[in-house]
Amino acid sequence: MFPTPIEKRPRSAQITYQAFLPFALILWLLPLLAVALFSIKPDADFTNGNYWGVPSSFEAFTNYGKVFFESNMPRYLLNSLLITIPTVIGAVALSCMAGFALGVYKFRGNLLIFFIFIAGNFVPFQILMVPVRDLTVSMNLYDTKLGLVLFHVAFQTGFCTLFMRNFIRALPFPLIEAARVEGVAEWRIFLYVVLPLMKPALAALAVLIFTFIWNDYFWAVVLTQGPDAQPVTAGITEFNSQFRAAYHLMSAGSIVAALPPVAMFFLMQKHFIAGLTLGAVK
Amino acid sequence: MSSADTNRGWYKRNEIAITPWLFLLPAMLFFAVYVIIPIGQSFWISFHQWDGLGDKTWVGTANYERLLGIGDQNVDRKFEVSFWNNLRWLVLYLLAIPAGLFIALFLNQTVFGIRLYKSLFFFPFVISQVVVGLVFSWFYLPNDGLFDVITGWFGIDVSGGVLGNPNTATYGIIAAGLWPQTAYCMILYLTGLNAVDPEQVEAARLDGAKGRKMLWYVILPQLKPATFIAFVVTIIGALRSFDLISVMTNGGPFGSTRVLSFYMFEESLSEFGFRMGYGAAIAVVLFFIMLGFIVYFLWSMYQDEKGAR
């Protein structure tokens, strides 16, 4: 193991390390802690210039109550959910199938198609912006959740296919050959042999895509406007103009907007990291 | 023999050849409509003048000439600023890789509660960039922001606040972007360090290697895959930077924090009328900058694929 395990060091080094850890963590998360502090402060603290001191009173319930009951925030959150979940299902379904095709079969153009998926995934969004916006408008899907979902599904398919294909490649191929010898139809092989083995990959991708889509801002701004369809990342700016300079409310709103992917991460940590670090180890 | 039978027979005979295409079809269709074809369309639009509603007017390479200052015109000032800012992003964003490695080495221990520490260090990456931007813009508030308070102790005062000063604003935003990106690189390296061959490390230790030498000659070569991915995601992240700029400064002060992706958005969908053709031209330039990296990434991956056979 590198660096040398701390247990093999002198006792003093161990104590220093253990003591330094929380200190480093606080330093690292300082901006976030500041926002958390902001969000429980009363309005008066900011007018009195008490930005960083101890809150003069504990107002978490009032502040978060306002976020949930006196703004469009719940609506934006719901929109985010209604955009994110169908996208996750769509992208994972499409890429499962594409990954199966590219990972199991040998045919002309296999590698070419695979590389087109990867390359498309690296492209800067901006080159897609004008045509995709135009296409969405012409399908009458501008400012709808469906318009956003369709695009997200298509774009995420690139990354997901890369992921799935590499995962399927690593599965034991004799299993598939054995099924073929038995005369099992190809689509049944997919459904009953490959798919059950892909559960960890499905979980990892689902969590990852959930976070990516929830946090998307660019496409939300390009393809939607207003509280009917906008997800929370775009909604937060409207929220902020509603409560201009009310730092206690803006920070409470930000924390609410950030929470779902954070919760997802902590609940599904193993899958999340497995997905993110795919390929980091050979 | 009925026709259903012949159909079935034909399918059965060609099952292995046809199945992959059936499975690929939906994904390819979506990807073509929303990703591949739009790339071509953007090229086409960049040769036009277009407000996004009416007819497109063919203007040839006029957009590019205006952008790059070919002929008797000056180079577009805003484009110039954006381009140099993009380079700043590219270079400084790469700091996330050594910083991530450093934190990963720091956290690669097995003391009580270390798993929780690792996930909390990773935390910034999970939060949306919009929230990161908001958080940092409060952190940078002039006079009242924590940053100003802390630098004040050392007698440093950035006039107008970090984000209000054209000389510092871009660096302030990049620093905000480095926060989640470092967390990402850290997790890549932590996973990589987990897979480092302990026997090689022990053998090197017996040979007297330690510290920096060990890191450079024994550990880093084994972390190569992690470094490659960290490099890929960091480059892409740097060139995609949009959210932070939009939230923190909206391109200002005096347009000093624009990058190509932001400038393109501004031109295409600005309140002063849509200039889609000009915007598309900027996007094409950005695409070509990216293309160099894409080709390199794909080439590396292709080498791996060939090696796998």
Cβ contacts of B251 on chain A, cutoff 8 Å = none
Per-residue pLDDT tens for B117-154? 999 999 899 999 999 998 898 888 887 788 888 888 88
- Give B112→chain A minimum CA distance, Å: 9
CATH 1.10.3720.10 boundaries in chain B: 78-261+279-308
Nearest alpha carbon to residue A100 among A196, A180, A190, A193: A190
Which CATH code is given to the segment(s) B78-261+279-308? 1.10.3720.10
Nearest alpha carbon to residue B51 among B265, B272, B280, B275: B275
Nearest alpha carbon to residue B34 among A158, A231, A220: A158
Residue from A127, A239, A270 whose CB has the most chain B CBs within 10 Å, to mutate: A127
Q: Quick one: pLDDT at residue A85?
A: 95
Q: What is the mean pLDDT of residues A164-189?
A: 89
A32 within 8 A of B123, measured Cβ to Cβ: yes
Cβ contacts of A185 on chain B, cutoff 8 Å = 15
**What tokens does A212 get?**
């990516």
Which CATH code is given to the segment(s) A69-276? 1.10.3720.10
Listed in order, strand segments (DSSP E) in chain B are: 48-49, 57-58
pLDDT under 70 in chain B at which residues? 1-8, 271-273, 308-309
Tell me, what's the ipTM?
A: 0.89
Cβ contacts of A254 on chain B, cutoff 8 Å = 131, 134-135
Query: Is the bond into B253 cis (omega within 30 degrees of 0)?
Result: yes
Among all residues of chain B, which has the CA nearest to that of A223? B269
Q: Across the interface, which of B17, B201, B229 has its CB nearest the CB of A280?
A: B229
Cβ contacts of A113 on chain B, cutoff 8 Å = 24, 28
A101 within 8 A of B23, measured Cβ to Cβ: yes
End-to-end CA separation in angstroms for chain A: 17
Residue from A28, A32, A126, A251 whose CB has the most chain B CBs within 10 Å, to mutate: A126
Report the C-alpha gap between B63 and B71 in whole angstroms. 12
Among all residues of chain A, which has the CA nearest to that of B193? A2
Q: Which amino acid is at A134?
A: D
Report the C-alpha gap between A104 and A102 in whole angstroms. 6
Ranges of each domain in chain A: 6-61, 69-276
Q: Which residues pair with B49 in a beta bridge?
A: B57
Per-residue pLDDT tens for A194-240? 999 998 889 989 998 999 999 999 999 999 988 889 999 988 888 88
| B91, containing H or E segment | helix B77-93
pTM: 0.90
B176 within 8 A of B88, measured Cβ to Cβ: no
B203 in contact with A, Cβ within 8 Å: no
- Give A173→chain B minimum CA distance, Å: 14
Per-residue pLDDT tens for A91-147? 999 999 999 999 999 888 899 999 999 888 888 888 999 999 999 999 999 999 999
Nearest alpha carbon to residue A257 among A69, A75, A62, A55: A75
Give burial (CB, 10 Å; 0-12/13-18/19+) of A89. Answer: middle
Where does the pLDDT of residue A282 fall: very low under 50, low under 70, confident under 90, or very high at 90 and above? Answer: low
